[in-house]
Amino acid sequence: MTFPETSEQNYIPLRVKERIQEAKDKKFKKLDLSSTGLTEVPGDVWELEHL
């Protein structure tokens, strides 16, 4: 079995994943991830229908 390589660039901190999940659960209309140090938008953000 092989596993895909992970890179530092694609790493999403747990606190960011939790904020995205909270936004999904509570149907946030806004989500500020500017202070998280992300270099690209996580794919999960595109699933937030209420933003």
The model's pLDDT over 1-51, given as tens digits with 9 standing for 90+, comes to 444 444 555 688 999 999 999 999 999 999 999 999 898 899 999 999 999
Domain with 17, as residue range(s), is 11-47
Number of domains in the chain: 1
Alpha helices in 5-48 (DSSP H): 14-25
* Domain assignment present for 3: no
* Domain assignment present for 1: no
* Domain assignment present for 24: yes
pTM: 0.74
**CA-only gyration radius of the chain, Å:** 12
Q: In this predicted structure, what is the pLDDT of residue 11?
A: 83
**CA gap 19, 8 in Å, rounded:** 20
Return the DSSP state at 47: G
Q: In this predicted structure, what is the pLDDT of residue 9?
A: 56
